[in-house]
Amino acid sequence: MTRASGERLRILVTGANGQLGRELALWDGPGAEQLEIRGFGRSELDITDLEQCRTVIQSFQPHAVIHCAAYTAVDQAETDIDGSFRVNAAGTRNIAVAAREVGAKLAYVSTDYVFDGTSEVPYNEYDIPKPRTIYGKSKLAGEQLVSTLHDRYFIVRTSWVYGPYGANFVKTMLKVGAERGAVKVVQDQIGSPTYTWDLAAMLLELVHTDAYGIYHASNSGTCSWYEFAVAIFEEQGMLVHTEPCTTAEFPRPAPRPAFSVMDHCAIRVNGLTPMRNWREALKDYLHRV
């Protein structure tokens, strides 16, 4: 769909009750006055229903769709295989088909879990995915359907997401730290925390462009979950005894990537705004909430 001169960019957001979807749907950051963003939660848009996807998207006539809705229960997905693929693969297919039919660009939010986490250097956008979990496999299936069914797409992989809406690691640490005064956190998983405000800003900048393709988007810098927890307590001024431990001490149904740091090559080569350091973003988030 072509946008008339002076017309506000209409953006439809799926998964608007989730962490990132809500951040986008309630966006009041840079450029907000030039945007018309409409968010749809599960009760208003069931992405597993193709006809409903068509009806909702056709009625709003967006210039771009940012697809945040996903099945994100990583451990549960290991046994609910069909449920995971129904949402992350078939649901994404439905959004891709409906978005293309109205001529809308499509930004699909994916994950570091498409990689196996065995690398020792940051993952590039064009490294071959090798997911180890059902969640990762279903999100990769979504990527493949987007790239097959749509001709103007952005696939945006992110990691360790937190923000003011919904449950996340930062909120858990603040709660457990306040209640118990001590926490045990894994130190052998390395990644990059990502603040939803910064990720939303990146996605909104991206959909204004025609720089289609795959992107890795996380705040810059790296840390372990243990180092992240220590930083949370330091920034919040909380005295919490924080003890490092290994992944083996906390076995989970779905294996966690030991290394999920992603290189931001596509952001750099396409001249997009680099995402700030994770510690600075964390400071901003704690001040905001």
* CATH superfamily of this structure's domain 9-167+194-219+260-275: NAD(P)-binding Rossmann-like Domain (3.40.50.720)
Q: What is the pLDDT of residue 250?
A: 87
Indicate yes or no: pTM above 0.85.
yes
Residues 260 and 190 sit within 8 Å (Cβ to Cβ) = yes
Which of 123, 135, 215, 226 is catalytic? The answer is 135
Is residue 212 flagged as an active site residue?
Answer: no
* Res. 6 pLDDT band, cuts 50 70 90: confident
Per-residue pLDDT of 230-257, as tens digits, reads 999 999 999 999 999 999 998 999 999 9
Indicate the residue type of 284. D
Per-residue pLDDT of 45-65, as tens digits, reads 999 999 999 999 999 999 999
* Res. 1 pLDDT band, cuts 50 70 90: low
Compute the mean pLDDT over every residue in the chain, rounded to the nearest whole number: 97
- Whole-angstrom Cα distance, residue 20 to residue 197? 8
Phi-psi region of 32 (alpha: psi -120 to 50; beta: other; left: phi over 0): alpha
Phi first, then psi, for residue 230 (nearest 5°) are: -60, -45
Whole-number percent of the chain with pLDDT over 90: 96
| 243 DSSP β-pair partners | 184
Per-residue pLDDT of 104-128, as tens digits, reads 999 999 999 999 999 999 999 999 9
Domain ranges of the chain: 9-167+194-219+260-275
